[in-house]
Structure formats: structure tokens, C-alpha cells
């Protein structure tokens, strides 16, 4: 059984003015997501700025989100690293904290071979009992996890169950689904490709959009699963300008700007990420107004 089906939010990590994690705000965000129909919370991923967290912060955020969620919806912890030993330690701690699964990004910068990727993911998964979802995002990591590698890992390693696929390569996804016979749980890693991924047998999305539109993102998936394909498409199409604005600068710069425009006060991203440029923020604001997330301009 899949760790979750539907819309999982790649949750931002809110910061105070002094740059520390705001746990009070983080609790609010978790509660808002659960109330908004989100099917799963993904903690400390790219959107959660794990790259600029200390290991202590990383684990404390995972523990806190697990505590607040309290089993109401699954929590998947981002525990990937380009150091296998570090990824094992983070994954073990996430399991101990009560996470329902881990999300393992392909090791970045090292540029491992496919055999290296297999060895890396196998070592991590064998150190824990909870499910592991791979994360394929070659635009950030510099390495692609081949469809054959994903299928092999899901066949050989009991608790490697699927992949967050953000390569944008639907031919590769179709190849993977065909090779696996459908037993690899595939989640869209791109908000503009939810419906196409579901049409290939995907289980849902791990979403940036869900941070500001949890109900709508959930409804894209739920409508599709109910066979209401046109309704699902309509929401996807309506969201496209907003999704475009959410990625006009590198994630999570725009989504944090969007949340601050909505009064959620999640703080600025940590350096080396900076605040959104004014012209891009204006584009984002207009897209949010058109989607109904902000009052229309007078």
C-alpha cells in the first residue's frame, strides 16, 4: 500500500526575523494543511530549505511536525544527502521520531553512476523499516535516476516503494510504469504536471502549490481518482499561471513570498536564497489574485 495517495505538501520551514526556525508558525502551518485537506506532509525537503539547516535543526523540525500531526495524516521526512552515512543517520532519526516514510533525493554534486545510486539507496533503506520514496530531480542534483534503476530498487529492496518524479520526462515515466507493472508508487514532483502523471498511473503529487492552495491541489487528485477527469483538468489549467509564477525564481523563494502576501509571515529564505525581485513579486501577486488567493486589485 502506498504511503499516501493524493496531494502531499512539500512544506516550507518558517523563520523568525533572526533566522531561527519559528516553531509556533510551523504548528500553524501544519494545522492549516490538515484542515485544508492535504493528504500528507513532507518535511525538510527542498521547499523546507533543508540544505541550509544544521543537522540539529533538520531533525528537530521533523520531530516537531510528527508531534503536531499526531498520526492524523502521514509525515514523510526529507532525509537525503550526498553522503550515504549522513542520509542513514537522518533516516534512522526520522524513523525514531515517528515519520511514516522518508524522501531520498539522489546524491547531488557527486554524480554517482547508476550502480552507485543503487548502492546508496539500498544502504539507506536497509537501515530503516519505514518506506522510502526516491526523489529524481536532475535539474538540481546533476544526476538522473534511470527508470530501470528505480524499478530494480523497488523490486529488490522491500521498503523502497516509489519515486517523486521531477525530471519532466514522461517517456521515462511511461517506461518505468511499463517495466514495473504498476508496483512503483509514482508522485509528480512538478505542480504543472499533476494530471499527466496521474494519467500514467501516478499516486499523486508532492506539491509546492499546496502551501498556498491545499484544497485545490487535493481536489485535482481526488477528482481524477473519482473519474471526474474534466473537473481535475479544469483545476490544473486554472492553476497554471499561478504555478508559473511560483517557479519564476528558484523554489522556495516565490512560495515564501506568496505566503507572506497572504499574511502567513513565514519569513525570508535563508542565504544564499534571497527575497523575491519586485517585478517577479508583482507577477506572483497578479496570479494569486486571479486564482482567488488575494483580493482583486481595485
Residue 186, φ and ψ in degrees, nearest 5:
-110, 130
Mean of all residue pLDDT scores within the chain: 97
Pairing of strands 185-188, 204-207: parallel
To the nearest whole percent, how much of the chain has pLDDT over 70? 100
List of residues 6+ apart from 264 with CB closer than 8 A: 14, 25, 28, 29
Reply yes or no on whether 16 is catalytic.
no
Domains, the chain, with CATH or none: 6-228 (3.20.20.70)
List of residues 6+ apart from 175 with CB closer than 8 A: 147
For position 298, what pLDDT does the model report? 60
pLDDT digits (tens, 9 = 90+) for 260-286: 999 999 999 999 999 999 999 999 999
Other CB atoms within 10 A of residue 175 CB: 16
For position 182, what pLDDT does the model report? 82
- Band (244; pLDDT cuts 50, 70, 90): very high
pLDDT digits (tens, 9 = 90+) for 103-162: 999 999 999 999 999 999 999 999 999 999 999 999 999 999 999 999 999 999 999 999
For position 296, what pLDDT does the model report? 85
Residue 29, φ and ψ in degrees, nearest 5:
-65, -40
- Band (297; pLDDT cuts 50, 70, 90): confident
Reply yes or no on whether 109 is catalytic.
no
User: What is this structure's pTM?
Assistant: 0.96
Residue 98 DSSP symbol:
T
164, 86, 95: which is closest to 131 by C-alpha? 95
Per annotation, catalytic residue among 118, 135, 187, 203 = 135
Per annotation, catalytic residue among 25, 118, 164, 264 = 164
137, 131, 108, 130: which is closest to 120 by C-alpha? 108
Angle 55-69/23-35 helices, nearest 10 degrees? 40
CB-facing half-sphere around the CA of 21: CA atoms within 13 A: 23
Amino acid at each position: 500500500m502506498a504511503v499516501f495517495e493524493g496531494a502531499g505538501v512539500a512544506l516550507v520551514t518558517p523563520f523568525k526575523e533572526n533566522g531561527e526556525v519559528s516553531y509556533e508558525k510551523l504548528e500553524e502551518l501544519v494545522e492549516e494543511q490538515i484542515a485544508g485537506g492535504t493528504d500528507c506532509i513532507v518535511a525538510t525537503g527542498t521547499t523546507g530549505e533543508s540544505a541550509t539547516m544544521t543537522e540539529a535543526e533538520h531533525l528537530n523540525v521533523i520531530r516537531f511536525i510528527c508531534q503536531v500531526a499526531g498520526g492524523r495524516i502521514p509525515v514523510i521526512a526529507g532525509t537525503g544527502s550526498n553522503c550515504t552515512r549522513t542520509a542513514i543517520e537522518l533516516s534512522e532519526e526520522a524513523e525514531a521520531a515517528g515519520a511514516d516514510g522518508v524522501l531520498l533525493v539522489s546524491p547531488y554534486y557527486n554524480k554517482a553512476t547508476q550502480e552507485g545510486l543503487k548502492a546508496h539507496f539500498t544502504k539507506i533503506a536497509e537501515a530503516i523499516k519505514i518506506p522510502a520514496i526516491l526523489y529524481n530531480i536532475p535539474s538540481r542534483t546533476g544526476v538522473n535516476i534511470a527508470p530501470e534503476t528505480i524499478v530494480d530498487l523497488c523490486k529488490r529492496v522491500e521498503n523502497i516503494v516509489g519515486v517523486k518524479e521531477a525530471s519532466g520526462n514522461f517517456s521515462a515515466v511511461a517506461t518505468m510504469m511499463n517495466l514495473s507493472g504498476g508496483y512503483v508508487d509514482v508522485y509528480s514532483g512538478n505542480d504543472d504536471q499533476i494530471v499527466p502523471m496521474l494519467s500514467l498511473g501516478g499516486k499523486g503529487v508532492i506539491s509546492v502549490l499546496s502551501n498556498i492552495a491545499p484544497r485545490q491541489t487535493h481536489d485535482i487528485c481526488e477528482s481524477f481518482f473519482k473519474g471526474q477527469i474534466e473537473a481535475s483538468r479544469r483545476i490544473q489549467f486554472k492553476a497554471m499561471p499561478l504555478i508559473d509564477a511560483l517557479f519564476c525564481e528558484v523554489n522556495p523563494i516565490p512560495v515564501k513570498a506568496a505566503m507572506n502576501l497572504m499574511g502567513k509571515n513565514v519569513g525570508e529564505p535563508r542565504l544564499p536564497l534571497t527575497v523575491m525581485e519586485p517585478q517577479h513579486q508583482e507577477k506572483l501577486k497578479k496570479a494569486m489574485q486571479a486564482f482567488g488567493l488575494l483580493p482583486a486589485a481595485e
